[in-house]
């Protein structure tokens, strides 16, 4: 097999992205795990019996909600009695038995509250013989909401904004969110009782903790008031929270125990996407290694680390010889200190570009698998040892952009930003490190 050559880099990056996203296609994932038989519904390796009078309701939220909902509706056929899905954009041709509600992300909005109320009303009809099929994917925390006590939508938005800018990871953010919601931390399952609740979950959280994905609407929260307070103390946010939020967090228990019957099925995650990309890289002629699916940390620091890995391969053939493709998955964070425009994947890529400056035939591609990196139209970026020089030619300062969290402005100016558009799936982030032979 001919070794991969540097001029083919754009084609290689595109092939890796396509393979990764195809592997975690939400519609295909639902079809692999869900089956309707004459007298039972099979999800994963378990099944629930269906009496003739039993109804099946559909409820859920997330960035993958539209393809998941469509696939489930087709499988359920005439047994589907109705449904509500909170999604970023309602489909023009969605199944009419499902109420598709457009809601907010990354901050909840009025649509998020409306979706929560609609699901509460729908599930209030469920009887003991019925089944509720919950379809959960990343983004559901913001898209689906019902605040507790005196907490208002504005309070939630302020709290979420503080958490998102603090450098907190998604587990920390969702731990706090659960304490402020009637639908998170098992709340949706409580609403469905006494029906059986079957959950199909597409993971966007490192390590796949089911109670953290979309804040676990069908999984009981395992954390206490003290756990949430510890997160806020660590981030030094307690004093900035709205008074109603502080009062709610002081309560001993946010919600009663979950009583609903049922189980959860993980239908896709970052590992699946990374392994599919690795298989494609090998077919293209790269020596390939998936280094981790547990990547976390400050985006810029991880970017410097990724650059160091690329240089180690080129200079020492460690951990594999060139031509090489190293794949990492997970989700980094950004502590916002400047007033620029960017996202965690672009900030990571910019730091990697600084670390790669002047090194030939090295490239790093970063992407959010949902196609959206922070408040920008980009999914991430593709950088190389030439990126910093390209920026200098335009009078741009990569170091200054990194310090002011302005990665998108610089990367877009030199055409390094990666534009995918919403992908319809969401399984964390991917990083591809490509090392080509220096003679190419």
Q: What is the model's pLDDT at position 223?
A: 66
* CA distances, 155 to each of 109, 112, 162, 354 (Å): 11, 14, 11, 39
Is there a domain that residue 108 lies in?
yes
47 HSE (CA, 13 A, CB side): 11
Contact assessment for residue 182 and residue 119, using Cβ atoms and an 8 Å cutoff? no
The residue count of the chain comes to 440
Residues 244 and 353 placed together within one structural domain of the fold: no
Residues 40 and 73 placed together within one structural domain of the fold: yes
Q: What is the model's pLDDT at position 158?
A: 94
Instruction: Write down which residue in 268, 285, 303 finishes a domain.
Output: 268
Is there a domain that residue 74 lies in?
yes
Residues 65 and 44 placed together within one structural domain of the fold: yes
Instruction: Write down which residue in 268, 292, 327 finishes a domain.
Output: 268
Is there a domain that residue 1 lies in?
no
The tens place of each residue's pLDDT in the chain, 440 residues long, gives 678 999 999 999 999 999 999 999 999 999 999 999 999 999 999 999 999 999 999 999 999 999 999 999 999 999 999 999 999 999 998 889 999 999 999 899 999 999 999 999 999 999 999 999 999 999 999 999 999 989 999 999 999 999 988 888 888 888 888 889 999 999 999 999 899 999 999 999 999 999 999 999 999 876 677 888 888 889 888 889 999 998 888 875 545 555 568 999 999 999 999 999 999 999 999 999 999 999 999 999 999 999 999 999 999 888 888 899 999 999 999 999 999 999 999 999 999 999 999 999 999 999 999 999 999 999 999 999 999 999 999 999 999 999 999 999 999 999 999 999 999 999 999 999 999 998 66
Contact assessment for residue 126 and residue 101, using Cβ atoms and an 8 Å cutoff? no
Residues 293 and 239 placed together within one structural domain of the fold: no
Residues 152 and 182 placed together within one structural domain of the fold: yes
Is there a domain that residue 42 lies in?
yes
Residues 10 and 100 placed together within one structural domain of the fold: no
Contact assessment for residue 346 and residue 417, using Cβ atoms and an 8 Å cutoff? yes
Residues 331 and 367 placed together within one structural domain of the fold: yes
Q: What is the model's pLDDT at position 398?
A: 98
Is 395 buried (19+), middle (13-18) or exposed (0-12) by CB count in 10 A?
exposed
End-to-end CA distance of the chain: 16
Residues 41 and 119 placed together within one structural domain of the fold: yes
Phi, psi (rounded to 5 degrees) for 246: -60, -40
Backbone dihedral region for residue 384 (phi beyond 0: left; psi -120 to 50: alpha; all else: beta):
beta
What does the alpha-carbon distance between residue 186 and residue 217 come to, in Å, rounded to a whole number? Answer: 5
Write out the residue range of the structural domain in which residue 249 sits: 25-268
Domain count, the chain: 2
Residues 12 and 65 placed together within one structural domain of the fold: no
Is 12 buried (19+), middle (13-18) or exposed (0-12) by CB count in 10 A?
buried
Work out whether the CA dihedral 278, 282, 284, 287 comes out positive or negative: positive
Residues 261 and 275 placed together within one structural domain of the fold: no
* Partner residues linked to 338 by β-bridges: none
Instruction: Write down which residue in 251, 268, 285 finishes a domain.
Output: 268
Q: The CATH number of the domain where 428 resides is what?
A: 3.40.1480.10
Residues 89 and 176 placed together within one structural domain of the fold: yes
Residues 94 and 243 placed together within one structural domain of the fold: yes
Is there a domain that residue 440 lies in?
no
Is there a domain that residue 348 lies in?
yes
Q: The CATH number of the domain where 32 resides is what?
A: 3.40.50.10180
Q: What is the model's pLDDT at position 41?
A: 98
Is there a domain that residue 40 lies in?
yes
Is there a domain that residue 197 lies in?
yes
3 state SS for the chain: CCCCCHHHHHHHHHHHHHHHHHHCCHHHHHHHHEEECCCEEEECCEEEECCCCCCEEEEEECCCHHHHHHHHHHHHHHHEEEEEEEECCCCCCCCCCEEEEECCCCCCCHHHHHHHHHHHHHHCCCCCCCEEEEEEECCHHHHCCCECCCCCHHHHHHHHHHHHHECCCHHHHHHHHHCCECCCCCHHHHHHCCCEEEEEEECCCCCCCCCCHHHCCCCCCCCCHHHHHHHHHHHCCHHHCCHHHHHHHCCCCCCCCCCCEEEEEEEECHHHHHHHHHHHHHHCCCEEEEEEEEECCEHHHHHHHHHHHHHHHHHHCCCCCCCEEEEEEECCECECCCCCCCCHHHHHHHHHHHHHCCCCCEEEEEEECCCCCCCCCCCEEEEECCHHHHHHHCCCCHHHHHHCCCHHHHHHHCCCEECCCCCCCCCCEEEEEEECCCCC
Q: What is the model's pLDDT at position 332?
A: 96
């Amino acid at each position: 097999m001919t070794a991969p050559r540097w001029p083919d880099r754009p084609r290689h990056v595109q092939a890796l992205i396509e393979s990764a996203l195809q592997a975690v296609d939400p519609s295909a994932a639902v079809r692999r795990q869900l089956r309707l038989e004459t007298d039972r519904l099979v999800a994963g390796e378990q099944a629930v019996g269906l009496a003739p009078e039993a109804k099946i309701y559909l409820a859920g939220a997330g960035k993958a909600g539209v393809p998941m909902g469509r696939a489930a509706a087709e499988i359920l056929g005439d047994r589907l009695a109705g449904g509500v899905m909170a999604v970023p954009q309602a489909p023009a041709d969605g199944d009419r038995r499902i109420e598709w509600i457009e809601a907010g992300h990354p901050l909840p909005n009025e649509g998020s509250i409306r979706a929560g109320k609609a699901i509460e009303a729908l599930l209030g009809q469920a009887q003991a013989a019925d089944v509720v099929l919950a379809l959960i994917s990343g983004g559901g925390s913001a898209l689906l909401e019902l605040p507790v006590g005196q907490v208002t939508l504005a309070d939630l938005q302020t709290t979420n904004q503080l958490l998102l800018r603090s450098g907190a990871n998604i587990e920390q953010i969702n731990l706090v969110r659960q304490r402020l919601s009637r639908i998170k931390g098992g709340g949706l399952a409580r609403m469905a009782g006494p029906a059986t609740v079957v959950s199909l979950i597409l993971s966007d959280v490192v390590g796949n903790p089911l109670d953290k994905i979309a804040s676990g609407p069908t999984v009981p929260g395992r954390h206490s008031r003290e756990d949430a307070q510890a997160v806020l103390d660590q981030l030094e946010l307690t004093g900035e929270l709205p008074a109603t939020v502080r009062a709610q967090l002081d309560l001993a228990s946010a919600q009663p125990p979950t009583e609903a019957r049922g189980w959860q099925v993980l239908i896709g995650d970052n590992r699946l996407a990374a392994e599919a990309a690795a298989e494609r890289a090998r077919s293209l002629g790269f020596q390939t290694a998936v280094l981790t699916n547990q990547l976390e940390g400050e985006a810029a620091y991880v970017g410097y680390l990724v650059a160091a890995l690329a240089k180690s391969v080129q200079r020492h053939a460690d951990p594999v010889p060139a031509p090489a493709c190293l794949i990492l998955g997970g989700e980094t964070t950004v502590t916002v200190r400047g007033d620029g425009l960017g996202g965690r994947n672009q900030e990571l890529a910019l730091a990697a570009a600084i670390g790669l400056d002047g090194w030939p035939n090295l490239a790093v591609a970063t992407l959010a698998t949902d196609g959206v990196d922070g408040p920008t139209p980009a999914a991430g970026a593709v950088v190389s040892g030439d990126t910093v020089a390209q920026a200098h030619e335009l009078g741009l300062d990569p170091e200054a952009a990194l310090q002011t969290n302005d990665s998108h402005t610089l990367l877009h100016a030199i055409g390094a930003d990666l534009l995918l558009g919403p992908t319809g799936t969401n399984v964390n982030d991917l990083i591809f490190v490509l090392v080509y032979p220096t003679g190419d």
